[in-house]
Chains A and B, each alone.
Chain A
């Protein structure tokens, strides 16, 4: 076979493999479902954490933002929240965001919940340019891609409803049948391709985030001398636990290791995913970095949004094993709690 012939054959095989990957089945179904749960929880947590300051940041107590509001303001229809709203109406709208997040977390009409959550979240945070951070960019863009995926595959009320509907007319509920009806109208290959396209989009976005963040650090002298992670922990706004920051940064070796690992894991993240053991290293490294950011810098919503998206790189079989382990541990625990509860009421 000539070189040209071999090349054409190899390209053809690669093309068929890619086509099979896109059409054969939905990928990362557990990772996507886990991301849905975490993204919903992030929104619920965001609403809870900001409930006491909502008026000042985005509501009727935020009119002082008006001269600079145009810097991040989105066009119609993302104008749901307004500082001109009366306090009670703004609070209702704010709670609606929390309810949408709760619905997303529980997997109740998952795709609609995801779209509504995305719409409300963008509408809220875009009204104040100085209370806007990278969490908002990561959350918005990644959730947008997740909207194309099958978010309800596992651990969702949608999945339970579908399962009950499929198991027979007695146990099936009406809403479950309604929910599954669109699946029959849209050919399954369309949803499979869109799901897999969404998964690829999440993966590529993560590569861009980590790649650019890592390469941008390479030029910094504090990243080169291994002291960079010390400095953000000296800033009042990123230091919820000064005693912990002091404890962690007292050890020069720990600061050096954390600094270098942060850069290496970000720069090489995409490449480390190529083989199983380096993938495990990459995921542990990036999760460690995010946990550090979450705890030491008080940025859990950013960290969990990123870690949830990273979950698509965990194999479905690993998620299944984890699920089995949790069920094995949780079922006896629940049974024991019920027994104790019954004993108290007798």
Chain B
């Protein structure tokens, strides 16, 4: 950080009172601000207690909210995908039949990531949605988690699921229900785009596949890691009010 005019002439350091006061104020402000920023970034409990958690949160959010432990302590090494399937009425059968699983993130990878020097935020959206949906599920108590695997049909199924999940106190149930609403709303729109308006239910799963370990990356035939699944139960379609589905039809519909 150097200037254009080189070193100042000797004795040029004499300024009036107002400029000098301003310098002191700016330096104090910078010191205070970056002390709080550093404390926020390091998550030091001692420093947080010294400053006060409420003061720190109210000062840092939302403008200076940040987190820089990127790819740390280790980078993510699991490929996760978000997938949907639907139930369709079958001609001459009493029971509807399930479609094949459709990978939403797989479609994103092919359309928006591969061979794109500057990918859109589609590189992120559905991957993060799936990860957080899975994370919200894992955050709940095991006995509450079991309920998520049940099927919920008919009008107001989300309210019934909410009632069931909150029968036992679990601070993370509300968070899960928010993701359930988002994911099922999106999955419904994608299912309608792929399989039409006759769908009677949708089901969502996330698939986690570990990356091939570094020391096995050159093996022939290539190593295939076993995926693990998180599957919620069947849900009646959840149509999101006011959702413009034209983009969803373009990206995930069968006309692609």
Give the total of A residues in contact with B, Cβ under 8 Å.
Answer: 101
Contact between A128 and B125, CB atoms less than 8 A apart? yes
- What are 8 A-B residue pairs whose CB atoms fall within 8 Å in the complex? A25-B8, A49-B116, A60-B242, A212-B42, A212-B68, A217-B71, A240-B117, A295-B117
- Known contacts being A16-B13, A57-B122, A64-B185, is A219 close to B115, with CB within 8 Å? no
**Which residues of A approach B to under 8 Å, CB–CB?**
16-20, 22-31, 45, 49-50, 52-53, 55-57, 59-61, 63-68, 72, 74-75, 83-84, 87, 126, 128, 130-134, 137, 140-141, 144, 187, 189-190, 193-194, 197, 199-201, 203-205, 208-209, 212-213, 216-217, 219-223, 227-232, 234-242, 249-250, 252, 255, 295, 298, 300-301, 312-313, 315-317, 320
Minimum C-beta distance from B129 to chain A (A): 5
- Known contacts being A212-B42, A220-B73, is A57 close to B116, with CB within 8 Å? no
The bracket for how many chain B residues form the interface is 35 or more
**Chain B positions within 8 Å of A132 at CB level:** 124
Contact between A59 and B244, CB atoms less than 8 A apart? yes
Complex partner residue of B70 from A126, A134, A140, A205, CB under 8 angstroms: A134
Residue B1 lies at the interface, judged by CB distance under 8 Å to chain A:
yes
Residue B30 lies at the interface, judged by CB distance under 8 Å to chain A:
yes
**Chain A positions within 8 Å of B26 at CB level:** 22, 193-194, 197
Minimum C-beta distance from B112 to chain A (A): 7
- Known contacts being A29-B3, A126-B62, A315-B2, is A49 close to B119, with CB within 8 Å? yes
* Interface bits B235-254 vs A (CB < 8 Å: 1, else 0): 00000111111111001000
Chain A facing B: main interface SS: helix
**Chain B positions within 8 Å of A230 at CB level:** 214, 217
Contact between B3 and A25, CB atoms less than 8 A apart? yes
The 7 tightest CB contacts between A and B, nearest first, are: A216-B72, A220-B73, A234-B211, A67-B181, A216-B69, A60-B244, A61-B247
Residue B128 lies at the interface, judged by CB distance under 8 Å to chain A:
yes
Minimum C-beta distance from B116 to chain A (A): 5
Contact between B73 and A223, CB atoms less than 8 A apart? yes
B23-61 interface (Cβ within 8 A of A): 23, 26-27, 29-30, 33-34, 37-38, 41-42
Contact between B75 and A68, CB atoms less than 8 A apart? no
B182-222 interface (Cβ within 8 A of A): 182, 185-186, 189, 211-212, 214, 217-218
**Chain B positions within 8 Å of A61 at CB level:** 243-248
**Which residues of B approach A to under 8 Å, CB–CB?**
1-5, 8, 12-13, 15, 18-20, 22-23, 26-27, 29-30, 33-34, 37-38, 41-42, 62-77, 79, 81, 105-106, 108-109, 112-129, 132, 177-179, 181-182, 185-186, 189, 211-212, 214, 217-218, 240-248, 251
Contact between A235 and B2, CB atoms less than 8 A apart? no
Closest to A302 in B: B70
Minimum C-beta distance from B28 to chain A (A): 11
**Chain B positions within 8 Å of A255 at CB level:** 214
**Chain B positions within 8 Å of A197 at CB level:** 26-27, 29-30
Complex partner residue of A300 from B70, B118, B132, B189, CB under 8 angstroms: B118
Contact between A130 and B240, CB atoms less than 8 A apart? no
Contacts beyond the supplied A208-B41, A222-B75: 20 A-B pairs with Cβ under 8 Å:
A19-B20, A27-B1, A60-B242, A66-B185, A126-B62, A133-B121, A133-B124, A134-B68, A137-B65, A189-B18, A189-B19, A193-B19, A194-B26, A203-B1, A213-B69, A216-B73, A223-B72, A229-B75, A236-B79, A255-B214
Complex partner residue of A26 from B3, B18, B27, B77, CB under 8 angstroms: B3
